[in-house]
Amino acid sequence: MGMLELHGVTKAYDDFTVVESFSFDVIEGELRCLLGPNGAGKSTTMDLITGRQKLSGGKIVFDGRDITGMKEHEIARLGVGRKFQVPAVFRELTVRENLEVADNRSPNPFANMRWFGRSGDSRNFDQIVDLVGLGPRLGTQAGFLSHGETQWLEIGMVLMQNPKLLLMDEPTAGMTEHEKHKTSEIFGRLKGNHTLVVVEHDMSFVREIADVVTVMHLGKLLAEGPMKEIEVNSRVREVYLGSEGNGHDA
Amino acid sequence: MESQNIYHNKTAQWLSYLVVFVGLAFLPTFIDPFTLNQFSRYAVLAMLAVSVSLVWGFGGILSLGQGIAFGLAAYGMGMTMQMQFQDPESNPIPSFMLTNELSELPGLWVPFWNTEVGLLLALAVPTVFFVIFGALMFQARVAGAFVAIMTLAMLAAWYSMAYDMQPFTAGFNGISPPLPFDWLGVSFDPYSPITYWVALGLLAFVVLASKLVLQSKFGLIIQAIRDDAERVRFVGYNVAFYQVVIFAMSGFIAAIAGITWVMLTQYVSPVLLEVQFSIAMVIWAAVGGRLSLMGAMIGAFLVNGMQSYVGDAFQSTWLLIIGGLFILVVRFLPKGIAGLIETGLGYVPIGRRRSDSMSSNPARAAE
Ligand SMILES: Nc1ncnc2c1ncn2[C@@H]1O[C@H](COP(=O)(O)OP(=O)(O)O)[C@@H](O)[C@H]1O
Ligand SMILES: [Mg+2]
């Protein structure tokens, strides 16, 4: 049974269908890459899974539960963590505080009023800080981080939620080659222990990390399979890989 | 690692509160009863500034309706004190009601025969109102300027209600209980040290409780919501719930202030529900520093102190001066006086020298 199942998911604005009867299935422990040219509907699909936008049709099942129509925080609490395409962290809080907020063990405001402890001495705080390499930056206000560090912080925040499913929207966007390399190392270590869906444009990155690749085009499923097959798929080459020649999409 | 500025040191923060409150507690030994009463009033206004700092500075909710809780509680207290003066046998109805042709005490007033019930209502009604009003706003994800507009409109509605319900509220004239508040065998003469200590004690309670709440994880989540409410939802917190809690807390503090105010003035009228007054609270907090409870407190003491001692000389231009001050602060000192103190203390070396300016976290305030 899939950890995440999309059944004929559709999202339409007034006169414009952004996602059209899109279905896919991610099994536990898998790292799935979601590819597609800009505007294909990848981020919208993540919005639909996480409750940020309402479906026009279809249904979404997570971990055996129908989550269609649930609120954002309810879906998050069931164990769906998300990194946004435009990195979203709490800029006026320190790195440590960002990670502490993300540690969502209790949703109750009154319980949290009585909580003065630090996540530092709990859960996998140290491991996560170590994984994303922000140890020396814990006291820094998040607004002062570099772009790459901000991306890593948000990955760290998603991990602090201890989610069953991680949705990562363009985690290497805007990164230098060196930073991308470090990020693929992070994903290499997450792989196997977590279920991930990663939206990515960088083909070498995808080749490095992906098990199965799903390609979207104009809101629809175009192809699905191992990267080797996808790369030689003529329809994919036509709409996507071929269009840029070098395998990189903006 | 963490900030090297002593301003951000939590122990130093608690110590500074201790020094300020203990220092203020000795005031009655130095000053005359009239000035003491002035200071008691500043303490109440400081509670209001703290309530604004909490909800706006830390919660990111610009409430221009703090006067609703303050005013409702003040009316509750005014009614309680008025009924302490009435006698069930010989004098059961406040005289203003007689002139408004009421022949018996309205049901709304009956619970206020009992002082404890009166106090409880004065605190509970505004707080519950803030819970309901907040739930309606925040569940609909009203934010930013729309919150300011909605709270302002609601305040204006309460103002006209207090003004128009003449037989129940004495309208424009207001209620002036003839005797000081009397409770637990103590008569709280507005000019006595004991009344001052009550006001100061309540301010200390409000500030220290708020401080504690802000240092908890709840305080962190509230500030995260201020930064990016949308993002917090995807972490798994019910943002509206948190916003209702902080909004109601600020309302509760304003209600405590309202009760204390009437104890100090023996007078309540629709003036307390005026729009200018609630906007003034926001100005005190902004001038002092909305990101610091202590700053907000200082702002209230300073602006109101200036108003009492200098303001009279300027008369109607005083509002203009305050408005100008507000604009200057917003433009040049976004963190108010507290920001100045923070910058100043940044030059004081403690322990190791600051080596990495990035980690000194200059744009942050004390919780
Ligand atoms: N609110 C909206 N109204 C109409 N169209 C929208 C809206 N939001 C996004 N879109 C469109 O949906 C399409 C898919 O966008 P998106 O999911 O962000 O693509 P991707 O992440 O694959 O690049 C785009 O063509 C975009 O213009
Ligand atoms: Mg996108």
Q: Residue B316: count other Cβ atoms within 10 Å of its Cβ.
A: 6
CA distance A44 to chain B (A): 15
Determine the residue among B226, B234, B237, B367 to mutate to test chain A binding: the one whose Cβ has the most chain A Cβ atoms within 10 Å.
Answer: B234
| Atom 18 of ligand 1, nearest CA residue | A43
CA distance B237 to chain A (A): 5
- Return the minimum-mean-pLDDT range out of A167-176, B109-118, B155-164, B259-268: A167-176
Q: Give the whole-angstrom CA distance, residue B342 versus residue B250.
A: 25
Structure tokens at A19: 């996602």
Q: What sections of chain A are H helices per DSSP?
A: 42-49, 72-78, 95-102, 109-113, 125-132, 147-160, 177-190, 203-209, 227-232, 234-236, 242-244
Q: Give the whole-angstrom CA distance, residue B97 versus residue B167.
A: 6
Phi, psi of A25 (to 5 degrees): -140, 125
pLDDT value for B1: 43
Q: Nearest chain A residue to B364 by CA: give it.
A: A92
User: 């201790």: which residue's tokens?
Assistant: B18
Q: Give the whole-angstrom CA distance, residue B155 versus residue B137.
A: 15
Sorted by where each begins, the domain ranges of chain B are 10-274
Identify which has the larger pLDDT, A51 or B11. A51
pLDDT > 90? residue B180: yes
Determine the residue among B235, B291, B357 to mutate to test chain A binding: the one whose Cβ has the most chain A Cβ atoms within 10 Å.
Answer: B235
How do residues B206-259 score in pLDDT, each as one tens digit? 999 999 999 999 999 999 999 999 999 999 999 999 999 999 999 999 999 999
pLDDT value for B101: 86
Q: Give the whole-angstrom CA distance, residue B68 versus residue A202.
A: 56
CA distance B221 to chain A (A): 6
Question: To which H or E segment does residue B118 belong?
Answer: helix B115-139
Question: To which H or E segment does residue A196 belong?
Answer: strand A195-199
Chain A hits for B359, CB-CB cut-off 8 Å, are 137, 139-140
How do residues A214-234 score in pLDDT, each as one tens digit? 999 999 999 999 988 988 888
Q: Do B235 and A161 touch (CB under 8 A)?
A: yes
pLDDT > 80? residue A158: yes
* Ligand 1 site, CB within 6 A: A 13, 16, 18, 36, 38-44
User: 């609601």: which residue's tokens?
Assistant: B154
How do residues B132-147 score in pLDDT, each as one tens digit? 999 999 999 999 999 9
Identify which has the larger pLDDT, B205 or A191. B205
pLDDT > 50? residue B179: yes
Report yes or no: A97 at the B interface, CB cutoff 8 Å: yes
pLDDT value for B365: 43
CA distance A85 to chain B (A): 12
Ligand with smallest separation from the Cα of A41: 1
Q: What angle do CA B256, B126, B162 make, to 5 degrees?
A: 105
Q: Nearest chain B residue to A134 by CA: give it.
A: B1
Burial class (CB in 10 A: 0-12, 13-18, 19+), B307: middle
Q: Nearest chain A residue to B219 by CA: give it.
A: A113
B 219-258 residues with CB below 8 A of A? 220-221, 223-224, 226-228, 230-239, 241-242, 245
Q: Do B232 and A77 touch (CB under 8 A)?
A: no
Q: Nearest chain A residue to B243 by CA: give it.
A: A109
Determine the residue among B58, B231, B290 to mutate to test chain A binding: the one whose Cβ has the most chain A Cβ atoms within 10 Å.
Answer: B231
Structure tokens at B82: 């008025």
Query: How many residues are present in chain A?
Result: 250
Chain B hits for A157, CB-CB cut-off 8 Å, are 235
- Return the minimum-mean-pLDDT range out of A9-18, A209-218, A231-240, B269-278: A231-240
Sorted by where each begins, the domain ranges of chain A are 89-162
CA B288 → CA B278, B285, B304, B336, distances in Å?
A: 16, 5, 12, 5
Q: Give the whole-angstrom CA distance, residue A31 versus residue A26.
A: 8
